[in-house]
Structure 1
Amino acid sequence: MHTVQGRRRLPRAVTFGAAIAVGLLLALVIDVARSGGPGAWLARHRIPAPYVAAGERIVVGGRSLYLDCRGRGTPTVILEAGSGSDSGTWTAVHDELATTTRTCAYDRAGRGRSDPRPAHTLADAAADLRTLLAAAGESGPFVVVGHSLGGAYGRIFAATYRDETVGLVLVDAFDPDLEAARIHPLLGPLRDEYDVRLDGLRAHVSRVDSLDWGASEAQLRASSLIGLPIEVLVAPRYEPRLDEATNAAIAEAWRTAFESLSPGRVTHTTAWGAGHDVHIDRPDLVVASVRRLIDRARFR
């Protein structure tokens, strides 16, 4: 262990791990506070219905990826899970959507039933998904639904395969670039705490998803969704340490941030009664948003 002027310097791995831990702990504390206390937080983080693996593993680039497609009809809905999650988190949404249209959930590389891959980018994952769908005989048009970090994966897929994508649903989507630009200036005394949280989340998704987040953020900035119909579902956000006016300004900042992705084509819904896992807490809202996009695609 190195010393500097008589002080002991912790190894870099220790300080890096501590930053992740502090960031995630702060995120948890804030989420519990916004939920109305530990009891309310536990109630809304109930375990979803058991998932029965009804799909298949398909070889893509020498790796097996899991895909579960059900139902009939067009467009085909693609469900993208959040960081560290897999297709099983979509059970309620998947079951309902499959009654009216073709719906596919899958496990990204390294998640659930899919083989891992080395560090990669959002664009690499989008190519994986398109190859997987083609190998399974699934074709567009597609409506892509992404929860949390899955929203970033969905955005890159939609931008890359724009001619095949007719709509995008962002379910409490995660984008630290948008957050830093729009939300950070409003936080006042909480900015430092927010920075630690955001850095911790970036480190978390890089580690858990084997994601090159620096390159992936650059891909998000360069992508274009102009003209694409987008449904945005956002969990209610309220920071009790800030006043009403600031909380209202933050809510408006979120709205304008997502509106900038496709001006004039974005529909916003506040997911009352839900936390971050809107697709588990309020699957009905996700289903309604998807079906609105499907109707727009079918009758445009």
Structure 2
Amino acid sequence: MSALRWSTTLMTYARAGIGESQIPADPTPRLVSVAAEELRRLLAATDIAGPFTLVGHSIGALIGLVFAAQWPENLAGLVLVDATDIQLNLEIEEPILVFADGGREDHLSFDVVASADEVTRSGRALDVPSVVITSRVGRWLDVADPEPWRPFSLAQLDKRWQRHHRAFAADLGATHKVARLGGQYIQKDAPTIVAEAIDNLVDSAGRR
């Protein structure tokens, strides 16, 4: 990320079923904890020394959250970028019990009910610096098709999203930031807010 001030080792990866990554032998709907375990094994297989500052977006933020709850000794900081409100999938008129992970034809999927339970259990105060970044107020009002989200109106969803993220940050003891520009892909639309959060955590980890 060219927006970063600090010089540090960066590693990006595509989880199973995303990009060029392989599909595991068992393609049945998986848990967020399974993806977190795959990340743990991936990091262990590298020559990069921990602890790590993890940055995750959307469902990736929930994977980072579960990772933090299960292996806190491997963590130096956590940045959660517009984390998915997984419970929302279960509260709409036609609940989404399984959702696709990525756009590949052979995509994997997540078990929403079981994963929502894991996320709830993981939402507790962390012992490392953390930042929750939320997409801008009004972002949901730009959604083209509101039908899948009934009975919620887009205005209700927008308020819910902001409220959920405030509570989420409070549960983790995290700093909460709200982007002023763009949509859900904050790292592309407003990269500076994400880069500053990472810089601050890397700086903090270096002084601990």
User: TM-score if structure 1 supplies the norm length?
Assistant: 0.55
Secondary structure of the 1:104 match is coil
Q: Which runs of 5+ in 2 are unaligned?
A: 142-152
Residue 192 (structure 2) aligned to one of 284, 290, 295: 284
- Distance (Å, rounded) in 2 between the aligned partners of 1:104 and 1:252: 30
RMSD: 2.9
Residue from 23, 38, 41 that aligns with 1:131: 41
Which residue of the partner structure matches residue 190 of structure 1?
none
Identity of aligned residues (%): 31
Rg comparison, structure with higher value = 1
State the AA in 1 paired with 2:100: V
SS at match of 1:115: coil
Write the distance in 1 (CA, Å) between the matches of 2:16 and 2:119.
20
Cα distance, 1:249 vs structure 2:
5.8
The counterpart of 1:176, out of the listed 76, 86, 94, is: 86
Distance 1:224 1:139, change over 3 A: farther
- Once the 2 structures are TM-superposed, how far is the Cα of residue 139 of structure 1 from its aligned partner? 2.6
Q: Contact (CA 8 Å) 2:137, 2:162: kept in 1 or not?
A: no
CA distance in 1, matches of 2:124, 2:74: 13
Matched, 1:102 2:9: yes
Gaps of 5+ in 1: 1-92, 185-194
Q: How many residues align?
A: 188
More helix by share: 1
Which residue does the alignment assign to 2:52?
A: 142
User: Kindly tell me: are residues 135 and 206 of structure 1, through their superposed partners in 2, closer, same or farther at Cα, counting changes over 3 Å?
Assistant: closer
Higher relative contact order (CA 8 A, sep 6+): 2
The SS at the match of 1:292 is helix
* Match status 1:122 vs 2:17: no
Whether 2:71 is the aligned partner of 1:161: answer: yes
Q: For the Cα contact (< 8 Å) 2:182–2:189, is it kept in 1?
A: yes
What letter matches 1:148 in structure 2? Answer: S
Q: Which runs of 4+ in 1 moved over 4 A?
A: 95-99, 239-243, 246-252
Contact 1:152 1:175 in 2 (8 A): no
SS at match of 1:176: coil
The residue correspondences of 1:177-256 to structure 2 (distance < 5 A) are 177=87, 179=88, 195-196=92-93, 199-200=95-96, 203-205=98-100, 208-227=107-126, 228-238=128-138, 250=160, 253-256=163-166
Counterpart-to-counterpart distance in 2, 1:156 and 1:142: 14
TM-score, with normalisation over the residues of structure 2?
0.76
Where does residue 149 of structure 2 map in the other structure? none
